[in-house]
Amino acid sequence: MRPSVRHTYLWLPLCLLFLGGAVVAGLMYGTVPLTPSELVDILLHPQSSGLKSTVVWQLRLPRVGLAALVGMALAVSGTVFQAVLRNPLADPYILGVSGGAALGAVLALTFFSVQSYTVPLLAFSGALLALFLVYLVARAHQAATHTLILAGVMVGSLCTAVLMFLLLYAPADPMRNALFWLAGNLARGEERWLPYGAGVCVILVLLLWSRAGLLDVFTQGEDVAADLGVDIGRERLFLFCAAGLLVAIAVALAGLVGFVGLVVPHAIRLLWGAGHMRLIPAAAIIGAGFLVGADALARTVLAPAEVPVGVVTALVGAPFFLYLLRLRGR
Amino acid sequence: MHITCHLRPIELCVITLRVILVLVCGLLFLAPGIWSSGGYATAASVPPSPVQFAQTIHTDALGRQVQLNDAPQRVVSLVPSVTETIYALGAQELLVGVTDFCNYPPQAQDKQSVGAYNSPSIEAIAMLRPDLVIIAADMATPALLQTLLELKIPVYSVYPRSLKATIEMQRDLGAVLGCTAAGATLASQLEQAIAQLNQEVERAGAEAAPRVLLTIMLEPLVIAGTDTLPGEMLACAGGINVATPGSRYPMWNMESVLAFDPDIIIASPHPGTSSPRDFFLRFKQLRAVQQGNVVEIPADWLQRPGPRIIKGLEALRQVITDAVTHTPEKINATQR
């Protein structure tokens, strides 16, 4: 289980280097080409006007921020779900949160007017509602792993069914918007929400980090946890709620961005071992960097057009992950 | 003794089954006519739509040779633009079924709907007993087409993806629906509108051509490239598309809009989304925003290959001439 010593102290600088590189790439690349010196100049003079300054300050910075936030939230919640459910296929959307959020967003797009805040607000409410439903069911049985998974999948299916039914009655335009929303989009400029989302996410990540030891025990199995005197049901519900809230925020801000939450935790386990003391901060930083970098690539390869970011995350992430899997095994 | 007694009913059953099997097999081998003549043969000998009208063979957009009555009486349109064209041809009396998306002219919504444009209900279509179903070639799944043909319902497909194809479709629909003259008139109206625009644009000269961004939707920002019907209409109206030549419907972002800084931004208001003006007004440095050239044109005028294309072309030309006359020197200065 113990990772090789030479990596033990290197993980933090490596993670930060990756995130830094991704952020620089995210700020430098896009339709408008920038040289490193231009970027530094623009960042040092925030008051200057001009095309490049506007592009960096008004468009790229918020987008990089959003990508980092969403990447962090998804990677950390994915880590927690995989540990608590002891299921390598668990991803942030496994517990029905995505279904609830999607339903909320489609409701907002179909029945409510044009205010830009209705979609994230209703998506968030929908995610919370789905989470609450799963919570109600799971609480009755000490939140046993399979109860959680089944309840989550069922709530998700229920939401999807209602959503499909709604889409049948939705006029063409809201339906098209809803489908695009479901595909995930980092261009949506909800800048006002970003600081609040970031604040709550960081607190949740720190809270989950503080339970790193507990997550390690969960990975060993419930019997071990019970033997060690852990109140399994309560702790699991807490972890589930905190991680679910993270997902709800991510989905409300950017729609359903796939792949990050599934693959980043696995990649980090393969690189630096399964201890959550290191896994959670590493997942947060690498998840943020991965999505920022993928988004930079998505904006650049076909510029002036862009590629959906979910395509890039899977296209770049899956081969790398397969390589890691071949190299290290499990 | 006991055993045979117990087995007897089972043996009986087995014997009965064998007899039935032999009988059935015998029937199958000896009288194959029962199966074929009972079902399909009758259908073949007595067609559901008896030949009362003269028939003509038409070639549709899928390249199929379709034999159709010269005067169909019950037509189902699975294409909103075809529904519009049928009304423009004055043939709406023939129309018995439309889709949920056929919202123009408004009275088209009173017709029986057979479901969504991309997933119509076969049963609803069959119940209308149509003698012609018109489908879009890109929405016709092989299964849908096959099912309709198995139900002996004649199918005619259209694929209007360009101005030329739209003109041809109007003429062909006239011929298919037994109103050839109306079809020819409709087609020549569009041809004339295009010819007139070409003349106007030529007279104005190439230097008066502004650079235009044609948006399809705003969140995410999807635009019409040059290789699309709206793109072709824009070129026809004398605008230069800022999209990459040869593109269809690429997804853009605001950074690209700022980088290309078009003279005119054309957007279509959609219910349930933010207003196009508000969306672009956030960026004061955009030339189109500064000069008040963020313009709204209804999506159906630009995207539906039907009779309202003419309105779309005129609106585009109007927007372009307005922009050029109000700010000619600025637009000319931006030409590269």
ipTM: 0.82
Domain ranges for chain B, please list them.
55-185, 206-334
Neighbour count for residue B330 (Cβ, 10 Å): 15
CB spacing of B272 vs A113 below 8 angstroms: yes
Q: Which fold has domain B55-185?
A: Rossmann fold (3.40.50)
Is there a contact between A189 and A60 (Cβ–Cβ < 8 Å)?
no
Q: Tokens standing for B47? A: 């067609």
Residue from the list B253, B256, B271 with its beta carbon closest to the beta carbon of A171: B271
Q: What is the pLDDT of residue B170?
A: 95
Phi-psi label, residue B272: left if phi above 0, alpha if psi -120 to 50, beta otherwise: left
Please report residues of A whose CB lies closer than 8 A to that of B250.
302, 304-306
CB-based contact A250:A205 (threshold 8 Å): no
Distance from CA of A173 to the nearest CA of B (A): 6
- Contact list, A51 vs chain B (CB under 8 Å): 258-259, 261, 285
pLDDT at residue A194, as a whole number? 85
A contact residues 289-308, partner B, Cβ 8 Å cutoff: 299, 302-308
- Distance separating alpha carbons of residues A156 and A244, to the nearest angstrom: 13
CA-CA distance, B257 to A15, in Å (whole number)? 34
In this structure, what are the phi and psi dihedrals at residue B293, rounded to the nearest 5 degrees? -105, 35
Is-contact B166 B229, C-beta < 8 A?
Answer: yes
Q: For residue A197, what are the domain limits? A: 5-328
| B264 phi, psi to nearest 5 deg | -130, 140
- Alpha-carbon gap, residue B98 to B112, rounded angstroms: 6
Q: Is A114–B219 a contact, with Cβ atoms under 8 angstroms apart?
A: no
pLDDT, residue A1, reads 42
Q: A324: which 2 tokens?
A: 């890691």
- Going by C-beta distance under 8 Å and a sequence separation of 6 or more, which residues neighbour residue A43? A27, A56
Burial of B200 (0-12, 13-18, 19+ CB in 10 A): middle
Structure token digits, residue A86: 């002891």
Q: And the tokens for A296?
A: 């930079």
- B139 and B117 Cβ atoms separated by less than 8 Å: yes
Tell me how far CA of residue A161 lies from CA of A103, A166, A183, B74, B137, in angstroms. Answer: 9, 9, 17, 36, 30
Decide if B220 and A185 are in contact by the 8 Å CB cutoff: yes
The nearest CA of chain B is from the CA of A324 a distance in Å of 33
Tell which A residues from 14 to 33 touch B, by Cβ distance under 8 Å. 30-32
Q: Does the beta carbon of B22 lie under 8 angstroms from any beta carbon of chain A?
A: no
Closest listed residue to residue A283, CA positions, set A294, A272, A297, A293 = A272
Residue-level pLDDT, tens digit, chain B, 336 residues: 344 444 455 554 455 555 454 444 444 444 433 333 333 333 334 444 444 567 888 888 888 888 888 889 999 999 999 999 999 999 999 999 999 889 889 999 999 999 877 778 899 999 999 999 999 988 777 888 889 999 999 999 999 999 999 999 999 999 999 999 999 999 999 999 999 999 999 998 877 789 999 999 887 889 999 999 999 999 999 999 999 998 999 999 999 999 999 999 999 887 666 678 888 988 888 999 999 899 999 999 999 999 999 999 999 999 999 888 876 454 444 443
- With beta carbons less than 8 A apart as the criterion, state whether A34 and A53 touch: no
Contact B256 A31 (CB under 8 A): yes
Please indicate whether, in this complex, the C-beta atoms of A176 and B217 are within 8 angstroms of each other.
yes
Is residue B190 within 8 A of residue B314, CB to CB? The reply is: no
Alpha carbon of B306: minimum distance to chain A alpha carbons (Å): 18
Contact A27, A63 (CB under 8 A): no
Domains B55-185 and B206-334 equal at CATH topology level: yes
Tens place of pLDDT for every residue, chain A, 330 residues?
Answer: 444 444 567 888 999 999 999 999 999 998 888 999 999 999 998 887 788 888 898 889 999 999 999 999 999 999 999 998 888 888 888 888 888 988 888 888 777 765 667 778 888 899 889 988 988 888 776 667 888 888 888 999 999 899 888 877 766 666 777 777 777 788 875 677 788 889 999 999 999 999 998 889 888 877 787 788 778 778 888 888 899 899 988 988 888 888 899 899 999 988 888 889 999 999 999 999 999 999 999 999 988 898 888 889 889 888 988 888 888 765
At residue B69, the pLDDT reads: 83
Q: Which residue of A has its CA nearest to B224?
A: A305
Tokens 């700022």 map to which residue?
Answer: B258
Q: A187–B253: do the CB atoms touch at under 8 Å?
A: yes
- φ/ψ of A210, rounded to 5, equals -65, -20
At residue B29's C-alpha, the angle toward residues B26 and B33, to 5°, is: 115
Region class of B238: left (phi > 0), else alpha (psi between -120 and 50), else beta: left
Asked if B68 and B80 touch (Cβ cutoff 8 Å), the reply is no
- Report which of B110, B111, B139, B114 is spatially closest to residue B124, judged by C-alpha positions: B114
With an 8 Å Cβ cutoff, is A109 touching chain B? yes
Cα–Cα distance list, A269 to A79, A329, B138, B219, B271 (Å): 10, 11, 46, 37, 47
Cβ separation B274–A308 shorter than 8 A: no
Q: Which two tokens stand for residue A262?
A: 């599934």
Mutation site, B113, B252, B253, interface A, largest A CB count within 10 A: B253
Q: Measure CB to CB from residue B253 to each of A172, A177, A306 and give the nearest one.
A: A306
Q: Which two tokens stand for residue A243?
A: 């991680």
Hey, is A257 helix, strand or coil?
Answer: coil
Is there a contact between A230 and A106 (Cβ–Cβ < 8 Å)?
Answer: no
Give the side-chain half-sphere CA count within 13 A for A295: 36
CATH number at residue A303: 1.10.3470.10
- Burial zone of A305 (CB within 10 Å; 0-12 exposed, 13-18 middle, 19+ buried): buried
Q: Which residues contact A76 (CB under 8 A, 6 or more apart)?
A: A204, A205, A208, A243, A246, A280, A283, A284, A287
Distance CA A159, CA A238 (A): 23
The CATH architecture that domain B206-334 belongs to is 3-Layer(aba) Sandwich (3.40)
Dig out the tokens for B315 from the structure.
Answer: 């609106």
Total structural domains within chain A = 1
> What pLDDT shows up at residue B36?
37
Name which of B121, B227, B255 to mutate to probe chain A: the one with the most chain A Cβ atoms within 10 A of its Cβ. Answer: B255
**pLDDT score at A232:** 79
CA-wise closest residue to A294 among A80, A127, A74? A74
Chain A CB within 8 Å of residue B253 CB: yes
Return the sign of the alpha-carbon dihedral for residues B7, B8, B13, B15: positive
Residue B7: what pLDDT?
Answer: 43
End-to-end Cα distance, chain A: 11
Test mutation, B119, B213, B216, B219, chain A, max A CBs within 10 A: B219
Token reading at B320: 């372009």
How close does chain B come to A110, measured CA to CA in Å?
7
Q: What is the distance in angstroms between the Cα of A30 and the nearest Cα belonging to chain B?
A: 8
Give the pLDDT confidence of A272-306 residue by residue, as tens digits: 888 899 999 999 999 999 999 999 999 999 888 98
Q: How many CB pairs under 8 A join A and B?
A: 91
Bridging pattern class, strands B240-241 and B211-217: parallel
Q: Any idea which residue has 């280097």 for tokens?
A: A17
User: Contact B272/A168, CB-based, under 8 Å?
Assistant: no
CA separation for the pair B168, B162 (Å, rounded): 10
For residue B116, give the nearest of B100, B103, B102 by alpha carbon: B100
Residue A62: CB atoms within 10 Å: 17
What is chain A's length? 330
Q: Where are the beta strands (DSSP E) in B16-154?
A: 55-59, 65-69, 75-77, 95-98, 112-113, 132-136
Residues A68 and A82 sit within 8 Å (Cβ to Cβ): no
Using the Cβ of B35 and the Cβ atoms of chain A, whether some distance falls under 8 Å is answered with: no
**Mutation site, A42, A306, A312, interface B, largest B CB count within 10 A:** A306
